[in-house]
Structure 1
Amino acid sequence: MPTQPHAEAHRSPAAIERWSTDAVPPAQRLDYWVGAVCEGFLEMEVTSPQARHFDAMLESAPLGTPALGIGVNRVRGSAQDVYRTRRAIERSRSNFYYLLCKTDTAWSVEQEGRSARMLPGDAVLVDSRRSYAFHFVQSADTISLELPTAWVESWLPDAPGQLACRIDGSAGWGSVLSRFVQQLTPEAASAPPLPPRLLADQLGGLLALATGPGVAAAVEPGARAALRRRVLEATRERHAEPGLTAEAVARELGISQRSLHRCLAERGEGSEGGTTFATALLGFRMQAARRMLGDARFDRLAVAEIGFRVGLRDASHFVRLCRQQLGATPGALRLARIGHRAGG
């Protein structure tokens, strides 16, 4: 990390801590800001295309007592890229989830192999125990709520599945959450209008509503069934692609991975139960393998080639799956068919 002047925090009577690059000459401001971020938030790296004319301010206040563990942070400043690296994670003494909301311009976030383009007013959850990147291409003006990991996971049992997923700030419960976060400023945290624990419960409930099953339930049943059919059909059509992922299918259909997984998990039409992407994909691959092994026209193909044609590169893995899913190895299935024809 670059050497910088000590990022001194000035505590006001309202218990709001402030860091500002105005405290140092322009040439030292970006380095000073890195120190301020590491002291006020946690260890991160920061770069900026506006390094020569950089300016920024961080204001922070706890919500309630330290036992509650929620911090409210507001950042204002120049365009910048923020990186939480593995090395920084190893040096950190504590970790949190962060819920961010930015209202002025678009930006983007990356974590857990996911990326999302955030529109003004959208919110997003990240985990400081995992690497992430924020790209503030025009400005960094953001409210960032520091949330204890156990607290978040008590409200969101599937919290890791929500990381770097855009919470739409313009519709449904996402819009309510966005407006609440925008009001929860450092000033509001230092002089809360309601008991802090009540505000924390309100935040947790809105976060659960904006990311939980209620989001999927808000979609009309007919639309959910149609989306499920589209996902399954796209998966069936592409089952032969080695390494096919839910992300690739979701991208093709123009939906989020979260929507894809949720529509598959719901019970389908008739007696059709919920499933997962991996289960559906494996089912399509095994159906294709059964057809090919049951057709004499494919006897000229080696077992490994049939596995490859249904999307499985590893021949031994293909054999194991056939035994598990079809009840016999590919060779045994062929022999049974040939024997049946000879006996007939």
Structure 2
Amino acid sequence: MTPALPSAPAGAVRRWSTDAVGAAERLDYWVGAICEGFLEMAATSPRSADFHSSLEAVDWGPVSVNQVRGSAQDVYRTRAAIARSRENFCYLLCKTDSAWSAVQASRGARLLPGDLVLVDSRERYEFHFPERADTVSLQLRPEWLERWLPDIRAAAGRRIDGQQGWGRALSAFACQLTPALAAAPPLPAALLTDQLGALIALAAGTPPQDEPALASLRRRILDRVRERHAEPGLTAAAIAADLGISERTLHRSLAGGELSFAHHLMACRMEVAARLLADARFDRLTVAEIGRRVGLLDASHFVRTCRARLGATPAQLRRQRR
């Protein structure tokens, strides 16, 4: 039988942990924990056999400070859950150790370490934590948040860049708001929540980056990778330096188009390799030489990559056109 979930007076740290139950009951216990600690949601995990998670929470007036630690998992707020809920909240989430993604209604955000996202529980959302779910989650009463951010709907589901501008300040501040600090705050809680509200207004209330400018930078990155794809050992850092941008900016720009540097680089290499292997004029070149011409110095690696990405080895591709 699953143990009863804990309760605690306002201002005290409330704790839930799957260590309280056997392995077979942990995921069910965790769903109950997040429903009790946050609001009604569903959760699944690819690590059900060795799943573990914990939640610590402190109520702080209009803000609740929560810290989740645990296994890879997917969390869903469904229409049915919304219909059953007696109250709703907004959540500001920040994760610093690995990339993850969030979807609010039809708006998706891929989040890198340090980024933040705001979601509104009055609309469907999803969180996908492919590695770990270690996250700071600040539960915000909508009526309080509307004092700082009048248009919550416009901000919900958008990535807040945690590495620059006011987003960087908000990320640093939010990650300091642990349940332990909230239980014994160094300053009056009202002062700290006002600081949080002001930073949310500055970071999430500003217009998003100019999309045409981002698309233009992305095209420049993709074109430069295509130009230099034949260089062995080509790195994202080298392309970023070539374009006069930071490596992080490069990755963020590509992520905005649901692309990655490594995937695009290999796609360029395989496109050229396929063209060379399909042209009889290049039959004089060995497979190893074609690999070298597209930046892959290890012949066996080139053969394996062709099989994986083009569906056949270089020799088979040559035979297929005859």
- The Cα of 1:42 is off from its aligned counterpart by 0.4
Q: Which runs of no fewer than 5 residues in structure 2 stay unpaired?
A: 217-252, 258-322
Q: Distance in 2 between matches of 1:58 and 1:132?
A: 20
- The aligned amino acid for 1:24 is V
Query: Computing the radius of gyration over CA atoms, which structure comes out larger, 1 or 2?
Result: 1
State whether residues 61 and 72 of structure 1, in contact with CA within 8 Å, keep that contact through their aligned partners in structure 2.
Answer: yes
State whether residues 6 and 35 of structure 1, in contact with CA within 8 Å, keep that contact through their aligned partners in structure 2.
Answer: no
Residue 148 of structure 1 pairs with residue 121 of structure 2: no
1:114 corresponds, among 103, 107, 110, to: 107
- The aligned amino acid for 1:74 is Q
Q: Structure 2 matches for 1:1-344, cutoff 5 A?
A: 5-9=2-6, 11=8, 15-63=12-60, 68-213=61-206, 227=213
Distance 1:12 1:256, change over 3 A: same
State whether residues 3 and 20 of structure 2, in contact with CA within 8 Å, keep that contact through their aligned partners in structure 1.
Answer: no
Aligned partner of residue 35 in structure 1, secondary structure: helix
Calculate percent identity across the aligned residue pairs: 56
Distance 1:59 1:226, change over 3 A: closer
Aligned residues: 221
State whether residues 72 and 146 of structure 1, in contact with CA within 8 Å, keep that contact through their aligned partners in structure 2.
Answer: yes
Normalising by structure 2, what TM-score?
Answer: 0.64
State whether residues 10 and 59 of structure 2, in contact with CA within 8 Å, keep that contact through their aligned partners in structure 1.
Answer: no
Aligned partner of residue 110 in structure 1, secondary structure: strand
- The aligned amino acid for 1:28 is E
Q: Distance in 2 between matches of 1:56 and 1:225?
A: 38
Aligned partner of residue 160 in structure 2, secondary structure: coil
Aligned partner of residue 57 in structure 1, secondary structure: strand
State whether residues 155 and 205 of structure 2, in contact with CA within 8 Å, keep that contact through their aligned partners in structure 1.
Answer: no
Q: Distance in 2 between matches of 1:225 and 1:185?
A: 34
CA displacement, residues 51-107 of structure 1 (integer Å, 9 cap, x when unaligned): 1110000000012xxxx3210110000000000000001111110100000011100
State whether residues 80 and 136 of structure 1, in contact with CA within 8 Å, keep that contact through their aligned partners in structure 2.
Answer: yes
State whether residues 7 and 36 of structure 1, in contact with CA within 8 Å, keep that contact through their aligned partners in structure 2.
Answer: no
CA displacement, residues 136-191 of structure 1 (integer Å, 9 cap, x when unaligned): 00000001001010111121122101111000111111000000000011111111
Aligned partner of residue 104 in structure 1, secondary structure: coil
Q: Distance in 1 between matches of 2:185 and 2:66?
A: 15
Q: Distance in 1 between matches of 2:76 and 2:97?
A: 21
Q: Which runs of no fewer than 5 residues in structure 1 stay unpaired?
A: 231-252, 258-344
**TM-align CA RMSD:** 2.7
Distance 1:7 1:134, change over 3 A: farther
Aligned partner of residue 116 in structure 1, secondary structure: strand
Q: Distance in 2 between matches of 1:88 and 1:27?
A: 24
